Every structure is written in C-alpha cells, then in structure tokens.
Amino acid sequence: MAALAETVSSDEAEVAAVEADAELAAVAAGHPDIAEASRAETARLHAGDAENRALWEEFLPPCLEVMESVYRRLGISFDLTLGESHYQPMLAGFVESLQQQGLASDSEGAVWCSSKGKTRRYRSQD
C-alpha cells in the first residue's frame, strides 16, 4: 500500500506541475472550446461514428495495458474484460426502457438519469 501511496503522490505532483506550467496554460487558453469539442467527439463515438470507433480501437490497447498494470500491482485479476463498446449495440433499447419507466429524461441535448437524489448525464444526443 505504501508503494501505491507513493505513486499517487508522485502522480499528483506531476499533475500540479503541469497545471502550474505557464506555457501549457497559454496553450490551453488558446483553445477555450476544447472541452466542448471533446464532448462532441465522445457523443459521436457513443453514436457509433465509424471514424471515431476506428480511432478508439487504435487507442484502446495501450489504455488497457496501463489499466492492467495497475490491476496487477493491486493483485486484481479478471477472467473476462468487456469494455463499454461491448454494450453499445444494447444502449438504445436500454435507454428507451429507462425513459418508459420514468427513470431517465431528455434535457439539454442529453439523456439524464436520476438515482438516490443525484442526476447524471447518461448519453449526449448530438
């Protein structure tokens, strides 16, 4: 556990250094719409856009390698791993079912689900 705490502390220090970097802050300030652009690309991926899906499949293996290295360090193993994309073909029916039951509603161009007093955006519509 001490090694994990040390890694987290090191990662937090790295994030703080990046956030304090004036040059990076200037680059970020030059792209004020990047958060919205990221959300739009994510919405296209969730909608099944072929180009975004191809990019995701390219990015996925290195992401999984990093996550698996963390799980190994924690002594966690899985018999089967299925990502979000496995469930993508089932989402439309699932969302429709939630809406019919009154557990989800459309607002602000997205589907929102409420549970235990908290409301979360489930899926963008654009």
Model confidence over 11-24: pLDDT tens digits?
788 878 878 899 98
Residue 20 lies in a domain: no
Q: How many Å apart are CA 11 and CA 36, to the nearest integer?
A: 26
Q: How many Å apart are CA 90 and CA 31, to the nearest integer?
A: 35
Give me the number of domains the chain comprises: 1
Residue 89: which pLDDT band, with cuts at 50, 70 and 90?
confident
Estimate to the nearest angstrom the gap between the alpha carbon of 32 and the chain centroid: 20
* Res 70: pLDDT: 94
Residue 126: which pLDDT band, with cuts at 50, 70 and 90?
very low
* Res 62: pLDDT: 94
**Whether pLDDT at 38 is above 50:** yes
The single residue listed with the structure tokens 């073909």 is 89
Residue 38 lies in a domain: yes
Percent of the chain past pLDDT 70, that is, above it, reads: 90
> Considering only 23-27, 53-57, 71-75, which range has the smallest mean pLDDT?
23-27
Domain region containing 79? 33-124
Residue 40 lies in a domain: yes
